[in-house]
Chain A
Amino acid sequence: MASSWSFRKRDATCSDCSRSFQEGEEVYSLLRLVVEELQRVDACRSCFDQRDASQDVVFWRTSHSEKRGAMKMDFDLLLAAMEGMAKDEREERRDLCYLLALLLVRHRKLRLERVEMRGKKEYLVLRKIRSQNRFSVESRELEPERRKKLTGILAELMDPTQEGDLSGAVSEEESA
Chain B
Amino acid sequence: MRFSVLTLLLVLLGAVLPACSDLPLEDESGRWTERTLDPTPPMRDIMDACEWAMQNAGFPPGERDDGRHSVTSGWDLQLQPFRNKGRRWQGILRVFENEDGEIVVKSRVLQEKNTTADDTLDSGEAEWERMEDDMVRSRILLQHLLSQLHLLG
Residues of A within 8 A of B (CB): 99, 102-103, 105-106, 108, 112, 114-115, 122, 124, 139, 142, 144, 147-148, 151-152, 155
Question: Which of B59-67, B75-83, B113-121, B139-147 forms part of the interface with chain A?
Answer: B139-147
Interface SS majority for chain B: helix
Q: Does B151 contact A106, Cβ atoms closer than 8 Å?
A: yes
The residues of B that contact A112 with a CB separation of less than 8 Å are 140, 143-144
The residues of B that contact A144 with a CB separation of less than 8 Å are 38-39
Residues of B within 8 A of A (CB): 38-39, 56, 136, 139-140, 143-144, 146-148, 150-151, 153
Q: Once the chains are docked, how many angstroms separate the CA of A142 from the CA of B146?
A: 12
> Number of contacts between A and B (CB, 8 Å)?
42
Q: Does A99 contact B151, Cβ atoms closer than 8 Å?
A: yes
Q: Does B153 contact A152, Cβ atoms closer than 8 Å?
A: yes
With A106-B56, A114-B136, A144-B38 in contact, is A151–B147 under 8 Å at CB? no
What is the minimal beta-carbon distance from B111 to any residue of chain A, in angstroms? 15
Indicate which residue in B139, B148, B150 contacts A147 across the interface (CB closer than 8 Å). Answer: B150
Most buried by B among A108, A151, A152: A151
In the complex, the 5 A-B pairs of residues with the closest C-beta atoms, listed nearest first? A115-B139, A102-B147, A106-B147, A144-B38, A105-B147
The residues of B that contact A105 with a CB separation of less than 8 Å are 56, 143-144, 147
What is the minimal beta-carbon distance from B58 to any residue of chain A, in angstroms? 10
